[in-house]
Amino acid sequence: MRRVEKVEEVLATIQRIKTAAGSAYATNFFPTEPRLKAWIEQQELDSETTETCAFFARRDRDFFHLYYCATGDSLLREKLLTLDLVRNSPVITDLIGHEGALSTQIGAFQAAGFRPYARLLRLARTGGETSAPDAAAMFATADQVPQILALLESSFNRFSDQLPTKSELEEAARANQIVWIVADGKVGALVHFETQGFTSTVRYWAVHPDCRDQRLGSRIIRHYFALHPKVKRFVLWVRADNENAVRRYLHFGYAPDGLVDQVLANPLIK
């Protein structure tokens, strides 16, 4: 694989393969330009391309996220078997689609040695929150990112939960995309979110272990809703086997919308 140097080359590759594939196009790569730019600037993105298939590998801590674009599922299977990255490095891939519609792609990755690692559900709820913001909640600042990152890394799985980097959290803090409540001088509870137009996505909702009997989690999520009176749709991803988290989201009006994320790992992910 070689280092990606320009956003334009990624977008051109995606468009070239998509045009050649027509209705047979297969992909799990849906990057935004700002995120692509950040990955490239931080030298985190590599690629390997042919006329019929492209793979993109993003470095994340001690492993890679693998993305693909192919002119068909059979080409994906064929090219995966020859990819050195899959044989030599710890790799995770996410296959997103409607329940029951991912069997061909899953089969292609399993043929290359991947195994099911986790299954995430997308949950959604409508807007309409009318409560007032919580007076104790505030926007996080970049200075508080080390605390926030430590809480997220101790609360979530780095392989399945797409944990942010320090620089991504600093950017989110500058954009007022992290709200939190301080308790005993530390992050008691937080919500990290991204809002575009009338849709808002919870990326992470976390409560410090020492504060889980203080209802701070309920307060911060209600504060997040109150900050978005014009949002029509709230969405998030949650691990299907995290019954406690699923139950809490259902309590706050979320429900499965039919999309799933099948997370697969190669043998070097333990």
Q: What is the pLDDT of residue 40?
A: 96
> Using CA atoms, how far apart are residues 270 and 267, in angstroms rounded to an integer?
7
- In this predicted structure, the answer to whether residue 148 has a pLDDT above a threshold of 90 is yes
Work out the mean pLDDT of the chain and round it to a whole number. Answer: 94
This prediction's pTM: 0.92
> Using CA atoms, how far apart are residues 95 and 204, in angstroms rounded to an integer?
20
> Using CA atoms, how far apart are residues 24 and 18, in angstroms rounded to an integer?
9
Q: How far is CA 220 from the centre of its chain?
A: 21
Lowest mean pLDDT among 37-41, 47-51, 73-77: 73-77
- In this predicted structure, the answer to whether residue 130 has a pLDDT above a threshold of 90 is no
Q: How far is CA 102 from the centre of its chain?
A: 18
71-98 confidence digits (pLDDT tens): 988 889 999 999 999 999 999 999 999 9
> Using CA atoms, how far apart are residues 63 and 162, in angstroms rounded to an integer?
12
Q: What is the pLDDT of residue 213?
A: 83
Q: How many helices (H) and strands (E) does the chain have?
A: 9, 13
- The 10 Å Cβ neighbour count of residue 17 is 23
CB-CB contact of 147 with 181 (8 Å)? no
Per the rule left: phi > 0, alpha: psi between -120 and 50, beta: everything else, 138 is: beta
In which band, very low, low, confident or very high, does the pLDDT at 243 lie, cut at 50, 70 and 90?
very high
Residue 235 sits at the vertex; the CA angle it makes with 26 and 141, to the nearest 5 degrees, is 110
